[in-house]
Structure 1
């Protein structure tokens, strides 16, 4: 990884000037000395997935006003389940207890790629996805009530799962309960400003903690489904190694063995139990053709600098050169 060609190279062996650091961070340019394929684009696609553009792909409201929300970003101990529930409650103006969050079920929740890299908050809490779906739904509910009552939407307010105009009220359940919104996400839908927050930014007890401490939470390691078997990947000894031959007979007599899977240079074993798969993967005899040798570590930096590269701008303020030119040296 390096900075733009016009800026100084930043590495741990040379001094880093303030000007070079500002220039590199101001343009946020990342260059990859890799093959010409769009590796960065593939990485981004894996990280963000292909989430729904429709409100109904993110949430629904029952006849009793209960909100069911869907997310592709999962809880991994970081408190994200509770935070996302707060987000939906805040934007839809309902109590946290009225929100049921469904996370990471293939075919049910939005495809949001992987949960990693501290990207769950930027993707779901800023100006898209879950936050935008809830904001779009709130504005749609206000519009429904305004149309039903024949009054300007500006005169209405939303709170505690109802739309009000003075003493007149109508619940979300009455407006849309058990029906679809049939709306695309509205990029112009206004998020609630922080000064109006009543749920976000306030302490909430972890919603998933009771299940954890009572032993009722089902961790992924403990998931069991009918007919479930276990697989284990057999890793190559070096980067770029290719398969020459696989001796299935070396493991076929082991307890619980089911099959060896070979697809090009991918090898895996399948067994009845996890530990059996681990043992079979360790014992399977595979002949590998070594991949290209890596350059010596001592000269690796110079090797990387000589590889084809390209610049990818994550953020471009378009004024870096002008700002630096006018800044104090």
Structure 2
């Protein structure tokens, strides 16, 4: 990877390289976010063109994409797409991802949109390069281009008349000649039909795994520069809060006398509420940060979050009506049965195993940052706002970090490093502590969903009301707030509408999204608001099926108009050997003393601004056993099915489903952030347990064969049905409806005690 164009000078050299074939596009500003959506707007336009494909001497193929690999394997899948259209080996394709000076600005890596959307221009560029080189070969051979075939960049023509049986051959790199050709990316050109694919659709080993397995892969934590020193930050005593007049204005003074005489200490840096130390070694920086005496003003008490439902109802909100059926009142009035429920979702952590890290080098001529960000171009905008350095003099070099599944502290620590580097005039590496990562990362937001449904006289769905409250913003860069560069005022985004409309056929619906500002620092986490919304949809349809006296899978199928959804539901139910006559323990233990139950759920992740667009279809079927004495849940069988459309790398999709299932089980059964009057108190693994290896079940993955369909986003969809499937299985096992994850042993024991008490005559 060292010889890839990762720096501005290298990329300018690529643009000037000769011979070379490049597929380029005139530079464009980044896409401005729609109103109410996350993102950062800028009018900056680079001075050099965007490059998508570059073919260079020595058999090299370089491919550029603005998204980054967060551990999902897109580096491999994008290389497969390029290799397929170019007819070269996958291992020949060198992918460049996320470096702001090298790749097109295609926005943040979110919503599982890389293969579904961001790969499209790359695929076209590869096809365009192939067509150009085949046209050259056709002229050289004196034949029609359609008579040629290609294997790993070697072009074979018809048999050469001068030497019977010997084909005319030339490779791409010979066909370059001495030319430097820049092709403008075409919008319309012939692409390979799926029937001709030989690489796309095949299980392909991930290109990053060998280096990770033997320890040679370079993470952002491994970056070392000449003259580099180390920094640590001291955060204010309002952990995890980013709204309020006190933010950025609470520091009284810093007593650094004991620190400045410590060996290796270079500087103590303060600006507003930002406090940091710089030292020659990381251990020296840690010791200095620990011994630094910092005096703060009294901090206002944090909002009370011991009762999430109460806190969310009290949070100011603006109602946004997504759907409003004219006859919904009449349908409820004439219903054979109505059911109401409230579902409460907790605050959760990304809980990246490795705390965030970055290296920054501020010089007179600009700033370079080595970061694990998922938003390189957005980070560049934020650094411009923070430091006043123009975007054309800021370069973000993206390296892999610990998985984030959304917004963690990767951008924040990059800004920390930049502030400290500017202060000392040297490259500075900053790594957060575990406590800082847990306390300050933007949380996956809590959510409140109120639902009411009606069934008609025939036992079918009649009406549905849903109001969803989602207190999240996009968590402005922490340094902007701590330094007082930008005000820490409330800001509400329109992000609660992900999958807010149910997938089932309710003749009349009223769907309301209650947009509200964040209560604590919160941003997107895997599934965003779609997971809690789908938790409500698919736990509630089980409640309606129970009220109608019908099997929950049969009830879903009776009200699903999406044929691909229905096909998936049938396939997963068949794999699970679902029986319409089967019910679980419903609170009465089996002979071994355990309560057993089965749960089903379906969802299609609909993201972006309402009405949005869909990613993959997903369904869960789960069988569990509950120990009523301890409240512990054991997963006895789990089937996770998905219709992803065309799968570039089916092995990669399977890995995504497995990862989604493991993380979702952890989130639904264990994970919840706790708060006190200061803010976050879940600052280490003891206070925030996650699923351990011993509790990971065997995961049966079912992939629908849809290779002739467009690819759908695969990275998040399988998480979306998880909570409802588990809640439905818990009801089947215990006879109790649990509507507030996590379903911890303590909550399950309490629910069983309450059920038992209610069953005992007064």
TM-score, length basis structure 2: 0.32
Structure 1 residues 311 and 104 mapped into 2: Cα distance closer, same or farther (>3 Å)?
closer
| Structure-to-structure mapping, 1:1-329, within 5 angstroms | 40-42=37-39, 57-105=51-99, 107-110=101-104, 118-125=112-119, 127-128=120-121, 130-145=122-137, 157-167=149-159, 168-176=168-176, 180-238=180-238, 239-240=241-242, 241=247, 242=249, 243-289=251-297, 293-297=301-305, 298=307, 299-306=310-317, 311=494
Counterpart CA distance in 2 for 1:272 and 1:178 is 49
Tell me by how many angstroms 1:109 deviates. 4.5
Counterpart CA distance in 2 for 1:136 and 1:197 is 17
Q: Deviations over 1:141-164 (max 9, x none)?
A: 344445667776555554431445
Structure 1 residues 101 and 177 mapped into 2: Cα distance closer, same or farther (>3 Å)?
farther
Counterpart CA distance in 2 for 1:180 and 1:314 is 49
Secondary structure of the structure 2 residue equivalent to 1:232: strand
Kept in 2: contact 1:231–1:269 (CA 8 A): yes
Tell me by how many angstroms 1:182 deviates. 1.7
Secondary structure of the structure 2 residue equivalent to 1:68: strand
Counterpart of 1:15 in structure 2 is none
Tell me by how many angstroms 1:230 deviates. 1.5
Counterpart CA distance in 1 for 2:265 and 2:48 is 44
Counterpart CA distance in 2 for 1:152 and 1:324 is 58
Q: Deviations over 1:129-186 (max 9, x none)?
A: x333323322333444456677765555544314455345442113336754423332
Tell me by how many angstroms 1:61 deviates. 1.3
Q: Deviations over 1:201-259 (max 9, x none)?
A: 21233333333343333333222221111222322222242233333335222332111
Q: Deviations over 1:94-114 (max 9, x none)?
A: 112322334455534455566
Counterpart CA distance in 2 for 1:313 and 1:150 is 60
Q: Deviations over 1:38-73 (max 9, x none)?
A: 663426x79xx999995x623321234321233454
Kept in 2: contact 1:161–1:171 (CA 8 A): yes
Structure 1 residues 116 and 271 mapped into 2: Cα distance closer, same or farther (>3 Å)?
farther
Structure 1: where are the runs of 5+ without partners?
1-36
Structure 1 residues 86 and 182 mapped into 2: Cα distance closer, same or farther (>3 Å)?
same
Higher strand residue share: 2
Q: Deviations over 1:250-298 (max 9, x none)?
A: 5222332111223343332222222322333333333334666544334
Question: What is the RMSD computed on CA atoms of the aligned residues?
Answer: 4.4
Counterpart CA distance in 2 for 1:324 and 1:141 is 56
Secondary structure of the structure 1 residue equivalent to 2:278: strand
The answer to which of 222-231 and 167-176 deviates more is: 167-176
Secondary structure of the structure 2 residue equivalent to 1:182: strand
Kept in 2: contact 1:92–1:135 (CA 8 A): yes
Secondary structure of the structure 2 residue equivalent to 1:251: helix
Tell me by how many angstroms 1:121 deviates. 3.2
Secondary structure of the structure 1 residue equivalent to 2:39: helix
Kept in 1: contact 2:67–2:106 (CA 8 A): yes
Kept in 1: contact 2:141–2:157 (CA 8 A): no
Kept in 1: contact 2:147–2:157 (CA 8 A): yes
Kept in 2: contact 1:63–1:178 (CA 8 A): no
Counterpart CA distance in 1 for 2:126 and 2:203 is 21
TM-score, length basis structure 1: 0.66
Counterpart CA distance in 2 for 1:302 and 1:250 is 48
Counterpart CA distance in 2 for 1:156 and 1:280 is 68
Higher helix residue share: 1
Counterpart CA distance in 2 for 1:116 and 1:84 is 16
Kept in 2: contact 1:61–1:179 (CA 8 A): no
> Which of 1 and 2 has higher RCO (CA within 8 Å, sep 6+)?
1
